[in-house]
Chain A
Amino acid sequence: MRMSEILIKNANVCDPAQGINCETMDLCIRDGKIVESVSESAEVIDAAGRLTMAGGFDGHTHSAGKINVGRFMNPNDARRTLVPGLSGPEARTEKTRAQVGYNTPNTYAIGYRYAKLGYTTICEAAIPMLAARHTHEEFKEIPILDKMGLSLFGSNWQVMEYVRDKEPEKLAAYVAWGLKASRGYGVKIVNAGGGEAWGWGKNVSGLYDPVPNFDVTPAEILMGLAEANEKLQLPHSVHVHCNNLGKPGNYETTIETMKMFEKVKPTVDRQALHVTHVQFNAYAGTSWRDFETGAPMVADYLNGANHLTFDLGQVIFGPAVTMTADGPVEYANSRMLHEKWSNQDIELEDASGVVPLSYSPKSFINAVQWAIGIELALLVEDPWKIMFTTDSPNGGSFVNYPEAFTYLMSAKKREQVISGFGKMALDRMVLPGLDRELSFYELAIMTRSMQSKMYSRPEKGNLKVGSDADVAIYDIITSDIDPSVEHEKVKQAFSGAAYTLKDGNIVVKDGKIEATPMGRTYWVNAKVPADIDSAMNKDTDIKFKKYYTVSKSNYMVEDSYLPNPVEIRTEGAF
């Protein structure tokens, strides 16, 4: 039940969207929103000077859909208890359903554990449209959090044909239709064209390698979809997993991709491009033998560019589960690491794979991967360009976020980890020479504030009047703590929020779940002129008649799958 009014007294607010840097003040909440003032009958929470931020927003996580393949093939993950309080089996209680898992927790555990970290919104990074119902079915069972998802378009036959045939309007109409069909929030492109090539067991080698049988290049797919994205005035830019992920030397493809987007003009006040889990795409060298960090080169480019955002894909040592629509990468992983391999190609649309693995500080490759994520965060000057992620659970489970925050905030903590690396690893990274330590303010930007802008959700990721009353209070007195030295305390505090409020409901208190309201699902309904829409539909009719194995009328995700939907309408600029 929603309390109508709450007064949070003595909150040490860190809200970069308003330029508030750890100032102690009161926060007022009414009917789930931040307001100017409340009446005297408001319920009072005494923050007692503790660090207070907007609810966290994980803008790139694999938490619904493909993660189920990860759970399915790794029942051993269910018993892992590597992060106390945030992993492993937990019996049901009066308030909570039973929980299991570490990298691939069950849906309930995902909701509870994100909330314990003070997070209140997540974005599932990949919805295969044909299987979109599945994503929404899992969303329904993830308590507390607000959710959104990105739909996969990068190896879609209809997309590639429209790009090849230079039909930008119909392409935009198809993207709008696909988002509606899958109830997606934005356009995800994974290894553009690579999913189709994987249909024949092959891959594309870079931006200009034509996709077999479709006579288009990854570059053309990327530009075509970016144009459609802007034509539809979508709230998020295209969200790109670059070609050549996971390959030594791929930083060049990554920079090339970023550069290509300099010419894209956003029609909404946000970036033109989001490049995801750049850690996996910032590799230098020519093979795994001479593999080394490419972070300085990528960071150098990013520091001079203002048209894009990116996220880290930080690596956490220990077991992880890689899961991506990049089918060929997963197959290569499984062969290289002798690991189990699941694959799921989706007809006419995309590919995907899941492979468990373990990152070890003793492996020089893993050590360098670990360093690259942090290097990117420290070398890129403007935190507003950076979203903190582990690409959970690809680089590691989200429950390790507090641990990872200390890597960013404490050079001492980094030294501790680095001291376990071999010489070969140290020679291939630049991290030991970096002494930058991020502040709580910068951390808040990377974990909540920049997401608001990046996803055009002004009511999220900040504590402005009118915003959603999603609030996290952490047991940290910022004036009394030196995160550089007391990194353990920082980790502890971020591991179990003193309070998490979701829409003004106390969902976590002292690190324990208090209530489990159902969150919203955001999806985008983009307007397309009727004639273009109908021309596009004639083309997709043929696709369904001849090639799909599901009828078109059974493709569209029905309303009943979104118990608490928020429809975002866009007008389009046709």
Chain B
Amino acid sequence: MPVIKDAVCSLCGSLCDDITVTVEDNKITKIENACILGHSKFVGMFEHDRIETPMIRKDGELVPVPYEEAIEAAAKILVNSRRTLSYGWCSTSCEAIGKAIQLAEETGSLIDSTANVCHGPSALAAQEKGSPGASLGVIKNRADVIVFWGCNPVHAHPRHMSRYSSFSKGLFSTKGRKGRKMVVIDVRKTDTAKLADKYVEIEQGSDLLLITALRSAVNGHEDVIPETVAGISKEEILELAETLKNAQFSCIFFGMGVTQSRSKYKNGDGVSSLISDLNQHSKAVTIGMRGHYNVTGFGQVATWETGFPMAIDFSRGFPYYNPGETGANDVLVREEADAAIISAADPGAHFPQKAVRHLAKIPVIQIDPYANPTTEIADVVIPAAVVGIEAEGTAYRMDAIPIRMKKLIDTEFKTDEQITKDLITKVRELKEGA
């Protein structure tokens, strides 16, 4: 039976590439080295219901149709729309993302990724202050202080700590966890916090206050810090600042606790500034804990193809970018979008009610391997291959390292890339006909 080594796990932004997969009769029967999330993706796919056939909603019900009919219906929606939202494209390959962007350009659509409800503010932060980071192996080999701020890798990135951070060993970190100080800053004592040497419980929404206090401490302005900031005593803040200053190499990993809370991107902006200040004393970097396995890839591809990482509006034929105006939720909550194409993401599950209600009102095209809440409000549904298992392609890890995902088993399903190409062809046909 074929055993595939060093397979890439296409679930979260850790993009572990040391998975051993056993395939029997075109089924994955065994998987080694993966976490619970990866295991569920690789082995679960033989248990979960696939969308078996293209479908179109007729009289309120999704009914099976031939592929060509679904493509034509989808293309018609796109051609007849004045403001299409193309959304998702994060649990898929960079090759598919490139085609999605081309489709958006040719249809004058607006295209956005799941960063809209995840690390979008981190991009805005980088646009204010830059993003001082490193590849994950740099942390593994060098870091003696690791901070997890508003993130919970035990749940969201289960192998992160063993492969890249807290527990990993490297050239200058031979003692692994013993040689490292692990700090967790969060609003509640998460399972990650339980593993920390130091847990700092911050008042929800006060991240920028704490970041600013840390900066003042690091920059020698202790005097401006009051006795308590963000629910934390000045003494504790000064101690934390000393820990960071005296590190040989520190890394602040931050998650949605930072990006989604009050002050939004100004928190990430503050973290970048704190990192810059810390480098006056020691080496420090920061890395965002990205969720979808290729949300980083969307940002990369979109940036080189359009100049912008997300929330790109092609209405006028050239890319325009302004999250707050051109983000997926912006145009749904304001009820601007008159059609949507959604792939490799699930806004039905992950957008606020008001946005989902608007999606339910407009024609929605969904491309996905699995039924999910978005399917419930979709009008054209096109099943796709599972990228990273049934199709190969490029993905970018949370630290922007590109890795090629392997094809592990055969499939009859078309890839997102192929479906999108077919849509481009059909859209051109319809436009020429018109």
Contact = CB atoms under 8 A, between A and B. Distances in A.
Interface string B22-34: 0000000000000
Contact of B317 (A92, A101, A131, A550): A92
Given A130-B135, A558-B404, A106 B307 contact: yes
Contacts of A67: 304
A410 interface: no
B300 interface: yes
Nearest to B249: A200
A289 B157 CA distance: 50
B318 A90 contact: yes
Interface residues of B, number: 67
A489 interface: no
Given A78-B319, A90-B318, A554-B403, A342 B131 contact: yes
Contacts, number: 190
B353 to A, nearest CB: 30
B424 interface: no
B137 interface: yes
A343 B134 contact: yes
Nearest to B299: A72
Contacts of A72: 123, 126-127, 131, 299, 303, 309
B138 A75 contact: no
Nearest to B15: A550
B140 interface: yes
Contact of B6 (A91, A107, A551): A551
A261 interface: no
A145 interface: no
Given A72-B309, A131-B402, A106 B140 contact: no
Given A73-B126, A73-B130, A98-B317, A92 B106 contact: yes
A210 B352 CA distance: 56
Contacts of B303: 68, 71-72
B402 A134 contact: yes
A11 B126 CA distance: 50
A352 to B, nearest CB: 10
B138 A553 contact: no
Contacts of B106: 92
Interface in A322-336: 331, 334-335
Contacts of B317: 91-92, 98
A550 to B, nearest CB: 6
A405 B22 CA distance: 61
A137 B305 contact: no
B243 interface: no
A201 B321 contact: no
Given A133-B402, A141-B98, A341-B276, A549 B318 contact: no
B306 interface: yes
A550 B396 CA distance: 12
B170 A141 contact: no
A89 B312 CA distance: 13
B276 A335 contact: yes
Interface in B274-301: 276, 279-280, 282-285, 299-301
A68 B128 CA distance: 16
Interface in A102-135: 104-108, 130-131, 133-134
Contacts of B105: 92, 97-98
A74 B309 CA distance: 11
Given A72-B123, A107-B304, A354 B404 contact: no
B253 interface: no
B130 A98 contact: no
Interface string B114-131: 000000000100111111
Interface in B249-287: 249, 272, 276, 279-280, 282-285
Given A89-B319, A133-B394, A213 B172 contact: yes
Interface in B391-423: 394, 396, 400-404
A346 interface: yes
Contact of A547 (B134, B171, B276): B171
Interface residues of A, number: 61
A104 B248 CA distance: 34
A401 to B, nearest CB: 21
Contacts of B98: 141
A244 interface: no
B342 to A, nearest CB: 22
A138 B137 contact: no
Given A75-B308, A554-B404, A344 B135 contact: yes
Interface in B134-172: 134-138, 140-142, 163-164, 169-172
B8 interface: yes
Nearest to B286: A343
B304 A551 contact: no
A355 B305 CA distance: 21
Given A345-B135, A347-B135, A107 B170 contact: no
Q: For the complex, would chain A's binding face be called helix, strand, loop or mixed by DSSP majority?
A: mixed
B314 interface: yes
A347 B136 contact: yes
A549 B404 CA distance: 14
A346 B399 CA distance: 10
A423 interface: no
Given A72-B299, A92-B318, A200-B283, A549 B163 contact: yes
A340 interface: yes
Nearest to A543: B171
B194 interface: no
A426 interface: no
B300 A134 contact: yes
Residue from the set A67, A134, A548, A549 with the largest chain B CB neighbour count within 10 Å:
A549
A348 interface: yes
A538 interface: no
Nearest to A134: B402
A99 interface: yes
Contact of A100 (B5, B169, B307): B307
B52 interface: no
B94 interface: yes
Interface string A129-172: 01101100110010000000000000001000000000000000
Interface in B308-338: 308-309, 314, 316-321
Contacts of A107: 304-305
A263 interface: no
Interface string B214-235: 0000000000000000000000
Contacts of B299: 72
Contacts of B133: 342-345
Nearest to B129: A340
A141 B305 contact: yes
B248 A549 contact: no
A199 interface: yes
A546 interface: yes
Contacts of B402: 131, 133-134, 137
A354 B320 CA distance: 23
Interface in A353-393: 354-355
A146 B98 CA distance: 21
B279 A201 contact: yes
A369 B279 CA distance: 27
A143 B169 CA distance: 43
Contact of B171 (A105, A335, A546): A546
21 contacts: A72-B126, A73-B126, A74-B127, A75-B307, A78-B308, A92-B106, A97-B102, A97-B305, A98-B317, A100-B318, A101-B307, A105-B307, A107-B304, A107-B305, A134-B402, A200-B248, A213-B172, A335-B280, A343-B132, A343-B285, A344-B400
Given A91-B318, A344-B133, A345-B134, 9 more contacts: A98-B306, A100-B306, A133-B403, A134-B300, A199-B142, A342-B132, A347-B137, A554-B6, A554-B404
Interface of A: 64, 67-69, 71-75, 77-78, 89-92, 97-101, 104-108, 130-131, 133-134, 137-138, 141, 157, 198-201, 213, 331, 334-335, 340-348, 354-355, 546-551, 553-554, 558
3 tightest Cβ-Cβ pairs between the two chains A and B: A91-B317, A347-B137, A201-B283
